[in-house]
Amino acid sequence: MSKQKKRRRLRWRFPTSAMSQSLSVFRYSGKALGLVWTTNHRLTVVLAILTLVAGLLPAVVAYVGKLIVDGVVVATQSGITSDRLTALGYVGLEAIAVILLAGSQRGQTVSQSLLRVLLGQRINVLILEKALTLDLPHFEDSEFYDKMNQARQGASVRPLSLVTRTLGLGRDALSLVTYGGLLLQFSAWAVVVLLLAAIPSFIAETRFAGEAFRLFRRRTPENRQQYYLETLIAREDYAKEVQLYQLGPLMLQRYQRTFQQIYQEDCNLTIRRGFWSYLLGLLSTTTFYAAYAWIVVETIANRISLGEMTMYLMVFRQGQSTFSTALTAIGGMYEDNLYLSNLY
């Protein structure tokens, strides 16, 4: 086969692979939602409703803020009492929206905390019930034992994390639709800029999420070795043999060497992840201030009002943050799916 044909085949294969990887973030969402639902129906419904409310209210706050600024300008110019009362009414309306938003966010936190405890217990019970049905050779298989430990360590919180991120993704999508509707009144290009600015951060987040999971899986034997050395050194059952054969210093040295290896890998990944996040974050910041300048110029030219300027700036800032959060959530969902693959 010629090189040209190979290149052509790779060229067609890449989009399919990229699409399948993007859709894979929803692979275990249904199963995770089923686990959370069977754990507690009411808390799941409350969490879903509060998530949707939290998605709608930010745009409402931004729009009412625009009404306040425009109302203040009108009241200042007219001096009429009714205009002043109208502006104060908008202030009260925004206060109500902010209170509801804070309440929905706090309710989300409480619901997640309660579900996390209940779900952790349910997952551990399922794993232990499964362990009771296994034969002894399964426990003597180091690969199977490592996989079961990974499921116990990660899967007790990952299903809720995946469900929370899935609901959060719906909330962010709802917020972005409302933000987009407001920004379209200014310019369609503002929506395009908002979307493009957050994509590099998503690519980096997804890549490092996969790398972190592979690192976690690769070093499970080292973690088990550390726990084993801790048990030998610190438990009274083995203290006599350790002291008799003077194995303590050797075991401690092995324990510290294993830790240094794990720490070095974590350190390298954390530094690279932080560096690229900061570097790509600068792109988003630059994009925001470019849009900021654009909106200010339009306001100076009297093409938009002062209230509209305030609203567009708030919507663009919050929309940029929301879009970045949504793409980061997709990267987190990808990582959650990788962890949940140990459970199913």
**CATH number, domain with residue 219:** 1.20.1560.10
Assess if residue 22 is contained within a domain. Answer: no
Helix (H, G, I), strand (E, B) or coil at 186: coil
Please, what sign has the CA dihedral across residues 193, 195, 196, 199? positive
The pLDDT assigned to 15 comes to 40
- Asked if residue 13 is part of any domain, the answer here is no
- Of 264 and 334, the structure prediction assigns the larger pLDDT to 264
Q: What are phi and psi of 36, to 5 degrees?
A: -65, -40
User: Would the pLDDT of 1 be above 60?
Assistant: no
**Which of 44-48, 209-213, 293-297 is the least confident region?**
209-213
Q: How far is CA 255 from CA 15, 145, 196, 215, 231, in A?
A: 45, 21, 47, 19, 11
DSSP 78-113: H--HHHHHHHHHHHHHHHHHHHHHHHHHHHHHHHHH
Please, are residues 309 and 182 in contact by the beta-carbon 8 Å criterion? no
The pLDDT value recorded for residue 26 is 60
DSSP-derived 3-state class of residue 27? coil
Which pLDDT score is estimated for 10? Answer: 38
The answer to whether the CB of 183 falls within 8 A of the CB of 315 is yes
pTM, 2 dp: 0.64
Q: Looking at the predicted structure, is the pLDDT value of residue 279 above 50?
A: yes
CA distance 101 to 116: 22
How far apart, in whole angstroms, are the C-alpha atoms of residue 129 and residue 123?
10
Is 66:81 a contact under the CB 8 Å cutoff?
Answer: no
Residue 48 forms part of a structural domain:
yes
pLDDT grade, residue 268 (50/70/90)?
Answer: confident
Q: For the chain, how many structural domains are there in total? A: 1
Place of tokens 């050797």: 250
Whether 182 is covered by a domain: the verdict is: yes
Q: Compute the mean pLDDT over every residue in the chain, rounded to the nearest whole number.
A: 77
pLDDT greater than 50 at residue 29: yes
Dihedral angle of Cα 201, 205, 211, 215, to the nearest 10 degrees:
130
Domain residue limits at 37: 27-340
8-state DSSP, 303: S
pLDDT in tens, 157-206: 677 777 778 788 888 888 888 888 888 888 888 888 777 776 776 666 66
d(CA 108, CA 58): 16
Q: 3-state DSSP helix/strand/coil percent for the chain, to nearest 5?
A: 90, 0, 10
Is residue 17 one of the residues assigned to a domain?
no
Is 331 part of a structural domain of the chain?
Answer: yes
What whole-number distance in Å separates Cα of residue 69 and Cα of residue 78? 14
User: Does any domain span residue 230?
Assistant: yes
| Length of the chain, in residues | 344
